[in-house]
A and B are shown apart, each in its own frame.
Chain A
Amino acid sequence: MAAAHRRTFNTATLVLVPFWLVVLAAYVGTMLWTVQISFTASKLLPVNTYVGFYQYERLFSSTRWIVTMQNAVIFGVLFIGGALVLGFLLAVVLDQRVRFENTLRTIFLYPYAMSFIVTGLIWQWLMNPGLGIQKAVRGWGWTGFSFDWSVDRDMALYALVLAGLWQASGLVMALMLAGLRGVDDEIWKASRIDGIPPWRVYLFVIVPMLRPLIVTAVVLLAISVVKAYDLVVALTNGGPGIATELPAKFVMDNLFTRQNIGLATAAATVMLITVAAVLVPWIYAEYFRKARKGAAT
């Protein structure tokens, strides 16, 4: 019995070896390579002239990078928070067994099927003062109406958030709805008997139960914040000025137009470290500690 068990274990390990190799080479390998290049003087092509932390000094003396990081924080917080709240509210509304639920669900989820490029372009048109909503409303007679976020320096970042929310809320809704449907009816019955108002049940009973789903949603949303590039390019292209620059775009610009591979990889490395610094402790707390606690009891 023991021998048979060991054999299956060996076969399983053997089967997994190629996958591990691919994972190591494709993910860890490229990551290490990126970090390595960030210490070189690479411009158009990667070279092996090491310059220490020079690229990092350049990076942090660049106003644009500082603005970029601030933007990422503002965008990230508003986008993730907004999508969670909106998605949850939509899910709750649909959970009331409303009519046409299927239709509504499809409508809300539809934007997620679109690429960020399309989303960005649509919102660019909507918010363009010469083409979009502003022009239409003014045309109907409200000449004082103004909705020009994408070209307004102070509002352009919120234009990005708005477009992002429009796209991502549907996904959060779908996740949350699945979670809500999994909630045992007994809980609702019990709360009704106790006379607890539904909003309190949702907030204090259901939300804690949905915790794993919220974690999933946050991870998915956070990934799209980190890699947000296409949305920016299509909606504002970083403008007006540098008001809507985000880290991924900084990396892409330096990698391909500015012939600054060294600087781009330094920025990518800083992004990696930031993400790791935020995510690793949290994921550890969320999964591993709990798993150990679960094992102990």
Chain B
Amino acid sequence: MTSVVRSILAGAALSLAALPAAAEEKPRAEVMHWWTSGGESAAIKTFADAFDKAGGEWVDTATAGGENSRAATINRMVGGKPPTAAQFNTGRQFDDLVTQGLIRPIDDLADAGGWKKAMPASLVAAASRDGEMYALPINVHGQNWIFYSRDVLEKSGVAELPKTWEEMIPALTKIKEAGYIPLALGGQPWQERSLFNAILLQQGGRELYLKIYQDKDEEAVRSDGFRKVVETYGKLRDMVDPGSPGRSWNDTTALLLNDKAGIQEMGDWVKGEFTNAGQKPDQDYGCSIGLDDTMLMVGGDVFVFPKIDDPSQKKAQDLLVETMISKDAQVAFNLAKGSMPIRKDVDTSQFDVCAKKGLKLLQSEDSQVPVFDILLSASLVGSLDDVITQFWNNPSATTDDMVEGYVNAFEIEG
């Protein structure tokens, strides 16, 4: 009996002794992220595999839900036990962490790797503070996609997706008369806002979009152009089904999958749902950027690297950046994720029809705008969400209410 205990103890001691040695050999990287759904975890696994192959040791810390994961990251960074790398959305979520000096700038790595030039300038800017890069963008998500069910459109007598919102309203009415749900929308504030911003970009145009969200120009908010967008948006209230409030985006996509609804406005992560259901782009479902494939609203994910003094952790961070941004990893990751590679110089032949449309627009700065949470602070985004959701859910709310709501939000939170 005692000999058994002794050998177990000896074994434990040995394994303990062996651990630090192994850690010294391999750079060990703990990565915090929130990619837990099927397609997402397949995507992050491509990074993990690439990192392990490059000689590192990937430690996965996944927390379901972006908010929870970010809260955990921030708590650990403030508490002095930061992970090696942590996921954020492209935008201003990590502003305060940069101000507090908790994040490592990665310009040296960008210069060494030479990949900065290959990225869309707006996303590089979104990852930089005062000209220095503090985050590594790893993908591009287009967020003004219109997905539509070919069957439903056909059966309703809509031959083709209309190219403008003016033509879209009669088309949606036709779909409604044919007994389908015209517009599949999940009634959560962020989805309602996503639809509104897509219409703003399509109908108001790039200039108006940027004037409002980049310059926070009050006159632009009061302009006829913006009012027209609000009116279009208001007309769409009759185009959703009664089950809409509170529905998640993927349950909403299911309405398209089952040919119950006509169109859905969403980001390109929706494609994962179609792919999982075995549907093919252009055959079973259609995809369009905005309505006429001319202007892409871009956002995405980044990784930040907390400032750590430990040289082995620094080495791990260097290796992480190198593997994540490498051309092969970019292709593998983004194919699994449904997003587009952050580098323009990778081989895109394997991507589907939809992604190729997006990649084309990514080539030029003039055919893209940043998604609005890149441009605005989290609290202003929240305030605008409140304004939009109140307008959407209250049929008696007027265009003036919306305009005044925007002006107030800019004044208070701007």
Q: State the CA gap A151–B188 with chains docked (Å).
A: 11
State the main secondary structure of chain B at its contact with A: helix
| Residue in chain A with minimal CB distance to B395 | A153
Q: State the CA gap A60–B326 with chains docked (Å).
A: 50
A258 and B382 form a contact (CB under 8 A) = yes
Residue A236 at the chain B interface, CB threshold 8 Å: yes
A257 and B67 form a contact (CB under 8 A) = yes
A241 and B242 form a contact (CB under 8 A) = no
> For A240, what are the chain B residues with a Cβ–Cβ distance below 8 Å?
187, 245-246, 393
Q: A44-B97, A151-B242, A153-B393 are in contact. Are A239 and B377 (CB under 8 A)?
A: no
A151 and B378 form a contact (CB under 8 A) = no
Residues 114-151 of B, flagged 1 when their CB comes within 8 A of A and 0 if not, give 00000000000000000000000000000000000000
Residue A101 at the chain B interface, CB threshold 8 Å: no
Q: State the CA gap A288–B71 with chains docked (Å).
A: 43
Residue B61 at the chain A interface, CB threshold 8 Å: no
Residue A254 at the chain B interface, CB threshold 8 Å: yes
> For B310, what are the chain A residues with a Cβ–Cβ distance below 8 Å?
none
Q: Pick the most buried of B245, B405, B413: most chain A CB atoms within 10 A of its CB.
A: B245
A151 and B394 form a contact (CB under 8 A) = no
Residue B207 at the chain A interface, CB threshold 8 Å: no
> For A265, what are the chain B residues with a Cβ–Cβ distance below 8 Å?
none
B188 and A237 form a contact (CB under 8 A) = yes
Q: Pick the most buried of A44, A130, A153, A243: most chain B CB atoms within 10 A of its CB.
A: A44
Q: Which of A230-263 contact B (CB under 8 A)?
A: 236-237, 239-243, 253-254, 256-260, 263
Q: State the CA gap A254–B67 with chains docked (Å).
A: 11
Q: How far is the CB of B302 from chain A (nearest CB, A)?
A: 16
B246 and A242 form a contact (CB under 8 A) = no
> For B242, what are the chain A residues with a Cβ–Cβ distance below 8 Å?
129-130, 148, 151
9-residue interface stretch from B37-45, B47-55, B384-392: B384-392
| Residue in chain B with minimal CB distance to A255 | B71
> For B383, what are the chain A residues with a Cβ–Cβ distance below 8 Å?
62
Q: How far is the CB of B223 from chain A (nearest CB, A)?
A: 23
Q: A45-B100, A256-B67 are in contact. Are A64 and B386 (CB under 8 A)?
A: yes
Q: How far is the CB of A232 from chain B (nearest CB, A)?
A: 11
Residue A167 at the chain B interface, CB threshold 8 Å: no
| Contact partner, B78, options A45, A151, A242, A254, Cβ 8 Å | A45
> For A128, what are the chain B residues with a Cβ–Cβ distance below 8 Å?
243
Q: How far is the CB of A184 from chain B (nearest CB, A)?
A: 51
Q: Kindly list 16 other residue pairs between chains A and B, CB separation below 8 angstroms, not including A129-B242, A131-B243, A151-B244.
A: A58-B412, A61-B408, A130-B241, A150-B245, A151-B187, A151-B246, A153-B393, A240-B245, A240-B246, A240-B393, A241-B394, A254-B379, A258-B379, A258-B381, A259-B377, A260-B382
Residues in chain A within 8 A of chain B (CB atoms): 43-45, 58, 61-64, 124, 128-131, 148, 150-151, 153, 236-237, 239-243, 253-254, 256-260, 263
Enumerate 30 A-B pairs (CB-CB under 8 Å) in ascending A order. Answer: A43-B377, A44-B97, A45-B74, A61-B412, A62-B386, A64-B386, A129-B242, A131-B243, A148-B242, A151-B187, A151-B242, A153-B394, A236-B246, A239-B187, A239-B188, A239-B246, A239-B393, A240-B246, A242-B386, A254-B379, A256-B67, A256-B71, A257-B382, A258-B379, A259-B93, A259-B378, A259-B379, A260-B378, A260-B382, A263-B379
User: What 9 A-B pairs are tightest by C-beta distance, nearest first?
Assistant: A241-B393, A44-B96, A258-B382, A130-B243, A259-B378, A151-B245, A240-B245, A240-B393, A260-B379
